[in-house]
Amino acid sequence: MSEKPKILIVEDDEPLRSMYTERFKNEKMEVITAEDGEEAIEVALREIPSVILLDLFLPKKGGLSVLEILKTQPETREIPVLILTAYPRDEYRDKGLRTGAVQFLSKSETVPGEVVEKVKEVLNSK
């Protein structure tokens, strides 16, 4: 990739959002963030990121609703979305993948370095 990839991190937990922001900046990515579901949709439509890292449980609009909306918009439907959640229940995994997420990652089972690697894999496969 010749241009710097842009990642949208949608996470309401500020320490986690900050940590991932630094991790992805260290990988030479442009980082944009959103703290809630409504902001995530606005930012995604405005910025058109290369990839989105999406939490499920967010204020104002949940992650699955955000995913559904982004996958119906012509501007954002092709953007790969990785779900990163503290609630890795099968029904969320199934619905997320059916709705268009390319990965479903559990916060408790995936260390930050693995999350970064998964994002890089998705970007390299575009």
Structural domain includes residue 94: yes
Residues 53, 8 contacting (CB under 8 angstroms): yes
pLDDT digits (tens, 9 = 90+) for 27-75: 999 999 999 999 999 999 999 999 999 999 999 999 999 999 999 999 9
Instruction: Judge whether 65 lies within some domain.
Output: yes
- Domain enclosing residue 50, as ranges: 6-124
* DSSP annotation string for 1-14: --SPPEEEEE-S-H
DSSP annotation of 100 reads: T
Closest by CA position to 83, among listed 102, 70, 98: 102
Number of domains in the chain: 1
The verdict on residue 1 lying in a domain is: no
Predicted TM-score (pTM) of the model is: 0.95
**Whether the Cβ atoms of residue 52 and residue 80 lie closer than 8 Å to each other:** yes
* CATH, residue 55: 3.40.50.2300
